[in-house]
Every structure is written in structure tokens, then in C-alpha cells.
Structure 1
């Protein structure tokens, strides 16, 4: 199943885009007179669900809400991908969404949170996916993050996705074909399914991230070739980005699982399972962070040791050179009466003495690990 529906031979997103274009051109949208949006619509899919099944037919967002209000127990699932401000504002007028939540949904720069605006709950998640790469470098992108916003009302659920992570077509297909009983629970069932997919991706990212961590750890402690400190630092930065997506979600999930009367009891049980998976991911991220800190400290210690070794080698060779410099300085004073200056074998004897001292000094420094 794809994320696109069709209406009278045209994509549903095209129909809604045409409506939006006409609405904005006629000046019916406040503050946007004469403005026409170009490009494809943000509407990915729009369906009406009743008794755990999707109703036949294709609907625009306003038609879907009207249809759901005419049927007991029905609700709308409207999926959006990176909507523009005019599109989101028009949808907000139809569904009665608060302007602050609409602003958050358009800008997509929010921490995970759960807020309530009258009868509508606004859940913000951060999506994440692992970016495959052949080799970890100091500029490799390991984790790509995005955002998922969910508006949960009495007769609708609106999912707003930013980024390419956690596509919802498989979630919709699974609910429609395999989990009709769950769909009967209403909009919060969709919110659970979306949250579950996002958190499952966290687990996948954490497992793949561990492989990079093992590679870095092996490289740092390898005798042949040690990993540059820039790679360790880059991996730590990517982990921080992943941590920002995972850790703050604990509070919204705790609020959902502890809510009374808002979220159906059966759905709260499902959310507790998601919470368990999230807790596991948080623990993994914390352990990775601790391990990366240890690796980073170990690499810094290695750099310090390498620098000390280099300094000892330099000092050792300087000590050897000092012997020759000292004798050259003494016999370069040009005094008239100096020992051995008139001896036939004085120069060869001095050179032989210097070589002997050099060899003995070299062996002593070598034995003590300085060379």
C-alpha cells in the first residue's frame, strides 16, 4: 500500500492542493490574499475509519471530517508530510487546531512533549534513522533525525512528519489489514502505532550505532593503527543528536500511561510496552555515552603518552649530541697549552672515545625505554 490515495483519477494531494490554491487566491484565507502555493500538496493520505475498518471512497480533509461526524465512532486519519504554513493553517481552521500547535507543526523545532489544547492533544516525537556508511570519518553522518507531530482529537488524528525517517505507510497498512480491533479504539490507537514505530526505529539505530562504537573501540586500542581522535569526537556528537531524540520522550510517555479517562485503558497498556522499549533504548544510549567518554579519555591519554615518548626520544638524542658538543666546545677554546693537542694520535683517540661514550649512552637509554 502506498501513501497516496486517488480521487476521480487524480491524486488526493492534488485535489487538496487545488482547493488550497483556490482558497488562497480568492483571499478567503486571512493574511494570505493573492498568494498561491506552488508545488505538491503536503497531504499524503486521508482516510475515514469506523468499527476498525477504513471506509471505502476517497476524501479531502474537510470531506473526511464531515463524514466522520456523521457516523458514530468514526474518526479521520490525516497524514501530512512537511506542510507549508498556508496548508497547515487551512487544516487548522477545518479541524479546530490551536495556533500555537500549528506553529510548532510547521517549524518542526520542538523537543518531545505532550500538550493539551482544549479537547485536542498534541504529541511531539523526534524520529531517527541510521545512515549507512562504508567508513566512519571525522565528518560522517551516523544518525539522521526528524520530527513527528500528532494531533489527537475526539474524531480525528493528524500526523505531521518532517524528514524521511519513520514513514507511516507501513503503519497504516498494518492497522488496516492486521489490527482492526486496535483501530476500533479510535484516534489514540493510531497515536500508539505511530509512536511504536518511531521507538522501534530507535532500537534499530541503537543496534547499528553499537557496531560503529565497536569499530572505534577496536581502532583506538589497536597496536597497528589507532583511530584519530576526530572520529571519536564525531561519533560522540552523533550520539548526542540521537540522545536528544530519545531521552526527552520519557516524560510524554509517562504522562500518557498515567492518564486517566483521556487515553483508553487498553491503549495505555500498549503505550506501556512502548515505554519499556524506550527505557531500553535510553539505557543503551547512556551506556554508549559512558563508553564513548572512556574511549575519548583513553585516546587522549594515548596522545599524551605518544607526546611524552616523542619528548623522551628528542631528549635522548639531545643528550647524545651534547657529548660531542661538549668536547668540541672544550677543544675549540684555542688555548696554547691543552692536553693531547700535540699528540700524533690525539684526534683519532678523541673520536674513538666519543663513539664509545655514544654507544654506551645509547644502550643505556635504550635499555631504560627512552629510545
Structure 2
């Protein structure tokens, strides 16, 4: 009897814990000493189970988690992790991004996984959760939801709430076919431009269709970055001198993203303007100056090219609303969004024989693979220039 007690004491001292039968609870109880808590009291958690084997496994898990620095216990839920991430993990993001991620987290992750204990969440649980979305959501949306769940668990992992990120062990399943992006034909683009004359969105459409700038880059574009009458050797706002730049150009160095940064470093670019776009922008500026003069606001500095009446950036909803009205007036069928002007630009460039490298530079892609992936429907499927040149060389047929 004494030997058994000594054995139990040694096991407890060595960190294996002790296990005993609790008559009142009618189960086995295990206790383990894990040092001291921050307040100086003993850290001696206990677990329960129907058998010694179950209790012993729970004690081992507690010890392993303690040794790995993981917070003890399994009460922390996915919902708690999600709310902690929303509260502290989105610092520095702009309001629209926070709103989008909050809605996505509330609607999908908290609603369908919130009650699950984070430590007990398995890869199978995540797979089942994602499979339940495939009949209603596009693959891109499902990928976004999975990416958000990964960020939530990574945030909890960094705070020692869980030992591993099970969402990293699964892939997003294929969902429904999303709404494919499309591009206007040259005739459709011309019709929309004609229908928009007299409106602020007329120069906006011209710039978007014929330079390929993103809508997030067009809305905050400033007049100081729009050089309609450049001087040779002029220094642009980036600090670079363009000694050979005599053609009108725009400096796409800002966007509506937080801090004014463009989507990527490669997105920062200087783009020459076609002459008819220059004419449209010049006429628009003159019109804006006259309107300000008539309103007694001639001393106000014109900042944004596509400014509101309050001299602020246009709201994206405002752009979409005015675009819908113009498209309807032009009798161009279908629903169109501002970002599809960028697809239209790629399509027009490709139709004119531009190669992927040039298009990638113009639209600000780091790799041509991005251009191919995102704009695969707008790129010409066959490069015909080589065949056309050879046909011209051998127009009289092959010589024996």
C-alpha cells in the first residue's frame, strides 16, 4: 500500500498528475500541477472522465499544451475567436474592408461554426462547413470565407488560444459559377461615351476605357497628377524626371486604399493619354472652372479630377448609379460595372495586337500570368502576327 502511494507521489512530482475516483460525481478525476499562475497561486487544473484512460489522455493534453505555451481549457469558441479578431485584428484597415469582413464573418463563420470549441475544431468540420456553401456561392466567395477563417484562427494561434490552424489543412471546394467579367466592344464603348456627354462621368469613362486604370485609381486621381500639357524635362510627383515625356500623361500613384497606396508596387505607373482623351479631359476642366467661377468658388483649388460638388472623392455607389443611367441611355444591353471598363481596355488592346507584356505593364500587373488569369476572356486566343508576316513574305507561294 505504501509502495503504491509512493508511486503516485512520484508520478505527481514528475508531472503526470494524479487520478482518483470521485464517488459524488461517479467518475474519475485527474489533477496535475503546472506551476504557478501570474497571480502567484498554484496552477492545478483538473479533468474528468468515465475511465482512467480518458482522464490520463486529458492530463497529457493539458501538460503538452502547457509546455507549448497554449492557453489551457477548451471553452474558447470559434465565435469568441472571430469576435476577438474583428475587435483587434483589423487595425489599420479602411472602413469598407472592415465592414466587408465583419459582414462575411457574422453571416457565415459565426452563424455556422460559432458554437464549436476552437481546440476541437477539425479539418473535417471545416470541409463540411465549406461544402455547405457550394450550392449557393461562387468559388471566389468560398475562397474568401476560407481565407477569413484562416486569419481568425491564425490570430488566435498567435495568442496561444489554439495549437494549430486546421483551416490551413483544407482547400476551398468549387462553388457555383460566378458572374463572369465582360468587356464592351469598341462600338459599345463609343455609344456609352456619346450618351454620357455633358456629365462628369464622360471623362471618367474615357479615361477608364482607354487607359485601363482601376476604378479605385480613377476616383482619387488629382489634377496635379494629370499632365495635359506637359513640359519636356518636367519632374513628376514621384520625384522622377521624365526627359522624353512630351505626350500628355497621368501618374497613377494613388488609390482609395488605406494610406493612398496602389494595389501593388507594380501598380504605380505613368500612362500616356490618347489625344482624344486629352481633349475630353481638357474640355471637362474648362467646364469645371467656369462652373466654379459662376458659383463664386473660383478661388477654391481644384484637387480631384472627378470631384463631387464638395470637392471630395466620388463614392463608388455614386459612380455605379450614374454608369447604369448612361448605359441605359446608350441602349447597351446587360448590367455593367466600372471595373469592366478595365476589361474593355484589355480587350481593345488585345484586338489591336498588343502582347501580354505590354498589356501587363499598362494595367499594372507584376506578372503576365495575372493578366492571363484575370483577363483570359478578353485576350486574343491566337497570336496571328507571325502568320500574317509569313503570309506576306510568301504571298507568291513557295519556290521549288
TM over 0.5: no
* TM-score, L = length of structure 1: 0.22
Structure with bigger helix share is: 1
- Please tell me whether Structure 1 or Structure 2 has the larger radius of gyration of its CA atoms: 1
Structure with bigger strand share is: 1
